[in-house]
Amino acid sequence: MQFAKRTEALNSAIFAQLDQRKKALLQAGRDAIDFSIGTPDLAPAPHIMRALHEEALRPENYRYAIADLPELVESVQQWYQRRFAVELQPDEILSMNGSQDGLAHIALTLADPGDVVLVPDPGYPIFSVGPQLAGAELYKMPLLAENDYLIDFAAIPPAVARRARLMIVSYPNNPVTAVAPPAFYERLIAFAREYGIAVLHDNAYCELVFDGAKGGSFLNYPGAKEIGLEFNSLSKSYNIPGPRLSFAVGNRELIAQLRKLKSHLDYGIFLPLQKAAIAALNGPQDCVAATVRAYQERRDLLIEGLGAIGWPIPRTPATMFMWAPIPARFRSSLEFTFELMERTGVIVVPGSSFGDGGEGYVRLAMVQPTERIQKAIAQIDACGILR
């Protein structure tokens, strides 16, 4: 049997390997403390679950959705107005089956084979996989610690920029956790205008910002709607990753193209899920504040605890992740990941799985309760891997 060449670039080997070794640990009677996959362990708010439950009991909600409910579109409009003071029109909004859906397909609407797509390195894997499936050529933009993990537009060769059709940007950033200041977005929009590049800003972690700061929107900045889209997800903000609820908002021409493509790929979001999204956006927002407090508490515990045993980690400003440099004696993030797992049962993700620029780091998802975090710190200390 022969398979399409486009699938050769798809690589989930590291997560498969981690899962395989985790199962082996558990079968051997050992504990495994998993900081690898970024799936929230916190419960959704009761009013969101109640809306989903009640609507799932209505037989009429099992038909094809086809399009977004008008009240869902209105809820997104009102939420963006309240949260960011951004005014959206109905034709500037499109729901998606999670941001992964949009990220996998957006390049199909913009890039032909051989066109260039600018992606961050390190970066969330689908940022690169989507354009690769479209046949696009990737140009990887380094996110460097010395630049506060911000894209250096001056370092992009003009010849590359002139061939680029799409740039994917994401702050707060997964995996490096960085946030971007207003001046960055102003430069981004000017650069995109100069070269005629569409911008996709993935804003999945806009609510998970710590130390009293507030996340913003790319669409807050003059000219953003003229050149780009923003993806915003309910998964992490409201602890509902399973239902797959997110939105593309912004440039109406880009929305129209994505809507046209998606009309051939799916039949809209299950109606009870749309009703749950309406409940999340319109209901009490104290659940979001509680989630932020929980992740900040976990962040502080990890930074203080790991720092005290000899693993200093920069202070995470946002997201549900930590981006941690590996101890100096290890040759690679993969080597450290597997040795840490074998000696302690603590599971992290090697930075190299996010691109060449992630080498020398590991990512920790803060998806364990405080008592499990304390246990992980104690086990790392006891095994001596940091010494």
Rounded distance, CA 236 to CA 206, Å? 10
Rounded distance, CA 284 to CA 338, Å? 42
5-43+286-383 matches 61-282 in fold: no
CA distances to 96, 101, 142, 195 from 155, in Å:
33, 30, 9, 14
CATH number listed for the domain at residues 61-282: 3.40.640.10
Q: Where are the domains of the chain?
A: 5-43+286-383, 61-282
Map residue 197 onto helix, strand or coil: coil
- Please tell me the predicted confidence (pLDDT) of residue 3: 81
Rounded distance, CA 250 to CA 167, Å? 15
* Burial grade of 96 (CB within 10 A; 0-12, 13-18, 19 or more): buried
- Please tell me the predicted confidence (pLDDT) of residue 37: 87
Averaged pLDDT, groups of 10, the chain, 387 residues long: 77 77 91 92 97 97 94 98 97 95 95 96 94 95 97 98 98 98 98 98 97 96 97 96 95 97 92 97 97 98 97 97 96 96 96 96 97 97 93
Say if CB 347 and CB 34 are below 8 A apart: yes
- Please tell me the predicted confidence (pLDDT) of residue 7: 77
Q: For residue 331, what are its two tokens?
A: 């040759």
Q: For residue 175, what are its two tokens?
A: 């995996």
Query: Full-prediction pTM beyond 0.75?
Result: yes
Helix or strand (DSSP H, E) at 294: helix 286-308
What residues contact 284, with CB distance under 8 A and at least 6 apart? 45, 47
Q: If you search the block for the tokens 């209901």, which residue do you land on?
A: 283
- The DSSP bridge partners found for residue 321 are 365
Homologous superfamily (CATH) of 5-43+286-383 is: Aspartate Aminotransferase, domain 1 (3.90.1150.10)
Q: For residue 33, what are its two tokens?
A: 């403390």
